[in-house]
Amino acid sequence: MIFDKLINYLKLDKQEFIFQFNSHPNYPSALAFSDTLNFMGIKNDAYELDKEYWDELPEEFIAIVENSFSLVKKTGNTYSVYSEKAKTLDKEELYKKSTDFVLLFEKTEAAENKLVFNFKPVLYSIFAIVLVYSFLTQSIYEALFNLLSLAGVYISIEIFNQKFGNASAVIGSICGEVSATQTTNACDKIIKQDKTSIFGLKFSDFSLIYFTGLAILGLFLPATAYIVKGFTFVSVIAIGYSLYIQAFVEKTFCRVCLLIISILVAQLIIGIFFFQNLSFGLGALLLTIILWALIFSAVLYFNNLLEQKENLQKSNAKNLRFKRNYELFKSQLLEKEKVEFQDSQTFSVGQKNSRLHISIVSNPYCGFCKDAHKIMERILEKYPNEVSVQMRFNYIPERANEKYSQLISDFTHIYKNKPEKEFLHAVEEWFETKDENKINGLSGRGSAAEDLTPLVSMSLENSNAGLSFTPIFLINGYQFPEKYDREDIWFFIDELIEDEDF
């Protein structure tokens, strides 16, 4: 199922989205799609809505159009539909091609796709430097040759990325829309079904190796003209092979392939007519062999690395569908005996009367507890009216030093005398700074004593239940299964809230 335009419009990390979607136990259902959007920070609600009520929908919503999840934007009497491709439909066409499923969403800041590193600015900078150098120091024909090489590199990189699921707007615009009778366009058909395999590399991968090598050798023209011209003659074999595959094997022509062939032909013409008075050097030949070996090795390395990553993701997705099955999680959760706490009010936040109650047993000086508390804070922030949380700090006066006792007193004072938000802020501030004086300042307690008896009783309950190690999550009294990571709670929180039998 392809929805590139939708993912791009919502500014989601495509690889992460597809991985989470594919690993959902109900893949590829609407529920899986909705849950994945929720996980990625797009809060949404799904409905089965008769078309007669669609006029009341907001200007943007998600629907299943032509069997694909699509973003629909209403503009006057027309609708822009974003899925694999962007298209415009009138109301009648949209209603005819859509199911009754609609998904209303609210985009949050967390949904923004934040890339750790974007290589394109670096690539464009290198291209610019090469072009400036070529046009300033070389003849016009040598500079044009280098420009064509860079164009070949760019298109080849886009094809290389697309092979691993990264949709290219450039390739898409060159190859055109998919017709109603097609499931794929001619470019995808030829590129993806290429049966060439030399050390695992496809014919399109050698395009990247070839143009990268020519782009580097082109910087040393005219000294390397003899070798460069030789490669342009060899490219005739590639041109003939590509045309044969398109015309007689696949019986369809790929526009991006024809564009690359045009570049090769243009370079061949420049080589024949403008690279004259050539000299052959053994040193240049040796340099070329080493250069091509390095480029070949680099492309082979990244190709194998990305293939391994893709295979691991597919395998992971299948395994996680099993792991993220709610019924399996629930059976693991109920496996241990339920812990009944007498004190469920001390340091209790959220909706007190909610059906879902989460307890976190922790220690303010526990290094691993910071991340656990962050999970709890995010749950409270996202589900303020559906979840209650109790922070059960382990506090035994005989073992606690003066600083710990003062910190617990500060927390107790803030909890009793200030709004819930200030208490949560104080706990968050503590795990960020570990500064006792700062928490004391937030409490405004001064030297006033606080009754810590409820904390002592709560810690004794924890100890009697065998909850000494921290952090520990308990959901409605059941200890979070050890087979799951604490972060996995996000995959089950909605179903836990809705499960009336739990």
Give the domain-ending residue among 76, 111, 146: 111
Contacts of 390 (CB under 8 A, 6+ apart): 341, 344, 345, 346, 347, 348, 349, 357, 358, 359, 360
Give yes or no: residues 297 and 363 share one domain: no
Contact criterion met (CB below 8 Å) for 226 and 284: yes
Task: Output the pLDDT for position 113.
Answer: 43
* pLDDT tens string 201-223: 887 788 899 999 999 999 988 88
> What CATH number did the domain enclosing 58 receive?
3.90.70.10
* pLDDT tens string 143-185: 999 999 999 999 988 888 777 766 666 776 777 654 434 445 5
Residue 186 lies in a domain: yes
Give yes or no: residues 8 and 151 share one domain: no
Residue 359 lies in a domain: yes
Measured CA distances, 433 to 364, 378, 393, 400 (Å): 11, 19, 18, 20
Residue 129 lies in a domain: yes
Residue 321 lies in a domain: no
Determine if the pTM surpasses 0.85: no
Task: Output the pLDDT for position 112.
Answer: 43
The count of structural domains within the chain is: 3
Give yes or no: residues 99 and 143 share one domain: no
Task: Output the pLDDT for position 501.
Answer: 82
Give yes or no: residues 256 and 375 share one domain: no
Give yes or no: residues 244 and 288 share one domain: yes
Give yes or no: residues 296 and 361 share one domain: no
Task: Output the pLDDT for position 319.
Answer: 62
For 446-463, b/e burial (b = at least 16 CB within 10 A) is: eeeebebeebbebbebbe
Question: 3-class SS at 387?
Answer: strand
Residue 322 lies in a domain: no
Question: 3-class SS at 362?
Answer: strand
> What CATH number did the domain enclosing 425 receive?
3.40.30.10
Residue 262 lies in a domain: yes
Tokens in use for 298?
């680099």
Give yes or no: residues 229 and 292 share one domain: yes
User: What's the one-letter identity of residue 33?
Assistant: F
Give yes or no: residues 275 and 359 share one domain: no
Question: What stretches in the chain show pLDDT beneath 50?
Answer: 109-117, 178-183
Give yes or no: residues 181 and 61 share one domain: no
Contacts of 434 (CB under 8 A, 6+ apart): 365
- Give strand pairing partners of 46: 103
Task: Output the pLDDT for position 429.
Answer: 92
Residue 323 lies in a domain: no
Residue 156 lies in a domain: yes
Contact criterion met (CB below 8 Å) for 106 and 29: no
Considering Cα of 453, then 455, then 461, then 467, what sign does the dihedral take?
A: negative
Give the residue from 140, 186, 223, 166 showing the smallest Cα distance to 14: 166
- The parent domain of residue 139 ranges over 120-315
Percentage of residues in the chain having pLDDT higher than 70: 88
Give yes or no: residues 282 and 151 share one domain: yes
Contacts of 383 (CB under 8 A, 6+ apart): 350, 493, 497
Tally helices (H) and strands (E) across the chain.
19, 11
Give the domain-ending residue among 287, 315, 343: 315
> What CATH number did the domain enclosing 179 receive?
1.20.1440.130
Task: Output the pLDDT for position 101.
Answer: 86
Give yes or no: residues 132 and 98 share one domain: no
Task: Output the pLDDT for position 246.
Answer: 81
Contact criterion met (CB below 8 Å) for 254 and 190: yes
**CA 496, CA 356: separation in Å to the nearest integer?**
7
Tokens in use for 122?
């670096």
Give yes or no: residues 101 and 126 share one domain: no
Give the domain-ending residue among 67, 91, 111: 111
